[in-house]
């Protein structure tokens, strides 16, 4: 009888513990998630406003400055560290008479503790110094790290699909 009771108790635990655990893992909307969306929407708006000035110095406060960080851009393929990114992007932007990047309304934010990543598509309208018009769509993925209460980009992939 004690043996049957013990088996029944074990069976009940085996059934109810997983059910309780599954219910606990469900991700309901939280105040924190809403705050993340608002925080990163503002950061993305700041990011595009800064780059639309054509001056990497304006975007600089959004980036971590570690020398070993990798940033992918449309041209060239990659930059290592902010100093290389700053210098290289100045050359690319210098070929434009005007350029305006507009983030689309598809921002996605995922955060785990002090690391977050954002994805968004963008549209570029511009004119090269040669007179050539530029009209293209692209995508951006950024990995952000919260350092001393400030979100900084520690990796970025900025690209356009082949036409």
Asked whether residue 7 carries a pLDDT value surpassing 80, the answer given is no
Q: Counting runs of H as helices and runs of E as strands, what totals does the chain give?
A: 4, 7
Bigger pLDDT: 4 vs 154: 154
Residue 141 has pLDDT above 50, yes or no: yes
Find out whether 120 and 139 touch, Cβ atoms under 8 Å: yes
Contact (Cβ atoms closer than 8 angstroms) between residue 107 and residue 41: yes
Measured CA distances, 38 to 60, 61, 107, 110 (Å): 21, 19, 11, 12
Indicate if the pLDDT at residue 134 is higher than 80: yes
pLDDT tier for residue 2 given thresholds of 50, 70 and 90? low
pLDDT band per the 50, 70, 90 thresholds, residue 74: confident
pLDDT in tens, 54-71: 999 999 999 999 999 999
With a cut of 90, say whether residue 159 has pLDDT above it.
yes
Angle at 126 between CA 102 and CA 96, to 5 degrees: 120
**Block residue for tokens 């004119």:** 127
Considering the segment(s) 54-163 as one domain, its CATH architecture is Roll (3.10)
Rounded CA-CA distance 149/106 in Å is 26
Report pTM.
0.79
Enumerate the domain spans of the chain: 54-163
pLDDT at 133 over 90: yes
Nearest C-alpha neighbor of 81 from the set 140, 152, 146, 155: 155
What DSSP line would sit under 21-90, residue for residue?
A: HHHHH-----HHHHHHHHHHHHHHHHHHHHHTTT-HHHHGGGB---TT-EEE-SSSSEEEHHHHHHHHHH
């Amino acid at each position: 009888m004690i043996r049957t009771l013990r088996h029944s108790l074990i069976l009940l635990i085996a059934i109810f513990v997983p059910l309780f655990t599954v219910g606990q893992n469900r991700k309901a909307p939280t105040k924190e998630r809403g705050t993340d969306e608002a925080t990163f929407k503002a950061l993305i708006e700041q990011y595009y406003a800064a780059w639309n000035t054509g001056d990497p110095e304006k975007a600089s406060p959004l980036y971590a400055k570690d020398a070993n960080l990798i940033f992918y851009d449309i041209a060239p393929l990659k930059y290592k560290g902010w100093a290389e990114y700053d210098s290289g992007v100045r050359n690319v932007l210098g070929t434009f008479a005007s350029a305006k990047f507009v983030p689309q309304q598809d921002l996605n934010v995922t955060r785990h503790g002090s690391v977050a990543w954002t994805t968004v598509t963008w549209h570029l309208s511009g004119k090269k110094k040669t007179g050539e018009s530029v009209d293209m769509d692209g995508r951006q993925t950024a990995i952000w790290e919260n350092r001393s209460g400030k979100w900084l980009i520690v990796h970025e992939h900025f690209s356009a699909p082949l036409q």
